[in-house]
Structure 1
Amino acid sequence: MSATAKKMKVGFIGLGIMGQSMAGHLLDAGHDLNVYNRTRSKAEDLIGRGAVWCDSPGKVAAASDVVITVVGYPRDVEEVYLGPAGIVAHAHEGALLIDMTTSSPDLARRIARAAVTRGMTALDAPVSGGDGGARTGTLTIMAGGSDEGFARARPLFEAMGTTIVHMGAAGAGQHTKMANQIAIASTMLAVSESLAYAEAAGLSLGQVLEVIGTGAASSFLLNGLGPKMVAADYSPGFFVHHFVKDMSIALAECERLGLDLPGLALARRLYQRLVDGGYGEEGTQALYRVYTQLMGVSDAV
């Protein structure tokens, strides 16, 4: 911790594929850390490094000045924050609450309003960068909420990420993450279809990636996940079922906004096919399975 940084009592709830690394960076930065996860075994490494285990989200909140959450679904976020045993009911006046889950913009606004009524401040601050960015502390963090809340949170964000932007009022972070996921959805379609075409044409997929990965088609997803598709390496950096959740949130927002995004709708439908086929725990590059294993002639889109 730098000489000018302030040591904080931080609570961290949700120690999954990204949360463990994110919480670890806060420990490394010198902050006191209180943790909770539905499966305690996922907290053992952090406890061994000095984190304090709490038996519920409410107990984390009561023991902390700042509470950070990275949980699964909007229903989990709502329960953890607004339930009777949750954060808002048990955090003390002046606490800063930061939800870093990808969740609903409307829910982010509701949490912010509930926090204000109890003298607290809430931010929605979803992230991009996957498990790799979480491990290396290079996440992109997009925050919504008050200027004062963002200023308080920034030293913590700097321990976890490198691109940190205040996007606007409550819900703006989640809206930005939806834009991010929409861009990923259609790009993953493009990468999968490109490789499916190359394979059908009898080309060397490795050579195809080498060539088009340096031209106008180059992208982080093509160059990062394309080789995994070719190698049939579908280990998760970000779960398929979580991506389906994100796209479903985005489509619900599109309906509210009167916006038709056919690429997003198609991507959600094809990713849902992976979930239905039992591949929801694989990484998003498993979309290539749809084109090589799961799509028949009658499925032409």
Structure 2
Amino acid sequence: MATVAVIGLGGMGSRIAGRLLDAGHDLVVWNRTPQRASDLVARGAVAADSPAEAARRADLVITMLADPAALQEVAEGPQGILAGATASTTLAEMSTVGLPAVRRLAAMLPDGVGLLDAPVLGSVSEAESGSLRIFVGGPEPLAQRWMPVLGALGSPMHVGPLGAGAAAKLVANSTLFGVLAVLGEALALADGLGLPRDTAFEVLSATPVGSQADRRRPAIESGQFPLRFALSLARKDADLVVSAAESAGVELPVAAAARQWVASAQKAGLGDRDYSAVIAHITDTARSG
């Protein structure tokens, strides 16, 4: 079994680490707040004093971090991952950080260090159950080497060379935010036209957004949106989608509009709520407007 290090033990990283322990891997962990490692250490993981130490002790280093700035902080510098990585180390960047961050990391790799960009589709429940969708970018032999480890976390799919994983995740995210915005606006329209919510949901169930309407209905009706993925992080991801489109010279007015709704919800104080709370924000805003 390979020794795996997990850098970043938030909601996603801690569950990924737990899955690796369950699969029988030797595990090294590091988090900026050391207390977050305590439960994993009690289960047999080793806590490293720095990202560099974690990298020195591992064959595969997984990063699951909030944003590009966090990745830069833990990867670079005298105590960063790159300072501890050796020619036998592979780094799997599993956060959603976008193409520029992946390219920056690739440009700084020590000789012989392998890099995969492997962001995930799914949230804490999928991470806990091992049902994440994992978009793997990088050289195919390197990707195939680590497929058994990634398979403990979900369903990995090799999508192309380095950077393709980040690109695939942005494509997926562009649909997620767009669907929530469309659902929110459809409900706002139903409210404005006097259509009862029960009827509106029956109508929406017959449309392309039907599965999302059915899935989100209990939260919308209760006004409670259990936290799976913070809206503040969704804002970061929506920004990455729009930025990537602009860099590629692609006009995405729907993605830009969805991003604007997410940004508006964050400005309204919903940043710590689940990102699906944007639906309630849309209906409330439309009603008050």
Q: Provide TM-score, normalisation by structure 1.
A: 0.90
The answer to whether the 8 Å contact 1:206/1:230 transfers is no
SS in 1 for 2:269: coil
Q: Is the aligned partner of 1:191 residue 2:183? A: yes
Give the match for residue 4 of structure 1: none
Gaps of 5+ in 2: none
Q: Is the aligned partner of 1:238 residue 2:238? A: no
Q: Is the aligned partner of 1:228 residue 2:219? A: yes
Give the match for residue 217 of structure 1: 208
Q: Is the aligned partner of 1:168 residue 2:160? A: yes
Give the match for residue 41 of structure 2: 47
What CA deviation, in whole Å up to 9, does each residue of 1:26-59 have, x standing for no partner? Answer: 0000000010112223222211111111122111
Q: CA deviation at 1:219?
A: 4.7
What CA deviation, in whole Å up to 9, does each residue of 1:125-151 have, x standing for no partner? Answer: 000011221111100000111112201
Give the match for residue 242 of structure 2: 251
Once residues 243 and 286 of structure 2 are traced to their aligned partners in structure 1, the CA distance between those partners, rounded to angstroms, is 26
Q: CA deviation at 1:90?
A: 0.9
Q: Is the aligned partner of 1:150 residue 2:165? A: no
The answer to whether the 8 Å contact 1:112/1:123 transfers is no
The one-letter amino acid of 2:157's match is V
Once residues 231 and 278 of structure 1 are traced to their aligned partners in structure 2, the CA distance between those partners, rounded to angstroms, is 19
Change (3 A) 1:269 1:56: same
1:7-46 equivalences in 2 (<5 Å): 7-46=1-40
Give the match for residue 112 of structure 1: 106
Q: Is the aligned partner of 1:81 residue 2:75? A: yes
The one-letter amino acid of 1:270's match is W
SS in 2 for 1:277: helix
What CA deviation, in whole Å up to 9, does each residue of 1:216-251 have, x standing for no partner? Answer: 334543222233122211222111111111111121
Give the match for residue 71 of structure 1: 65
Q: CA deviation at 1:152?
A: 1.9
Correspondent of 2:270 among 272, 279, 292: 279
Q: Provide TM-score, normalisation by structure 2.
A: 0.93
Give the match for residue 3 of structure 1: none
Give the match for residue 197 of structure 2: 205
The answer to whether the 8 Å contact 1:226/1:285 transfers is no
Once residues 173 and 83 of structure 2 are traced to their aligned partners in structure 1, the CA distance between those partners, rounded to angstroms, is 32
Q: CA deviation at 1:65?
A: 1.1
The answer to whether the 8 Å contact 1:58/1:89 transfers is yes
Change (3 A) 1:47 1:174: same
Q: CA deviation at 1:172?
A: 0.6
The one-letter amino acid of 2:4's match is V
What CA deviation, in whole Å up to 9, does each residue of 1:86-109 have, x standing for no partner? Answer: 111111221010010001212212
What CA deviation, in whole Å up to 9, does each residue of 1:167-204 have, x standing for no partner? Answer: 11111100000001111111011111122233344444
Once residues 296 and 222 of structure 1 are traced to their aligned partners in structure 2, the CA distance between those partners, rounded to angstroms, is 19
SS in 1 for 2:108: helix
Once residues 55 and 295 of structure 1 are traced to their aligned partners in structure 2, the CA distance between those partners, rounded to angstroms, is 50
Identity rate, percent: 34
Give the match for residue 179 of structure 1: 171
Give the match for residue 117 of structure 2: 124
The answer to whether the 8 Å contact 2:103/2:163 transfers is yes
SS in 1 for 2:115: strand
Gaps of 5+ in 1: 1-6
Aligned positions, number: 289
Once residues 220 and 288 of structure 2 are traced to their aligned partners in structure 1, the CA distance between those partners, rounded to angstroms, is 21
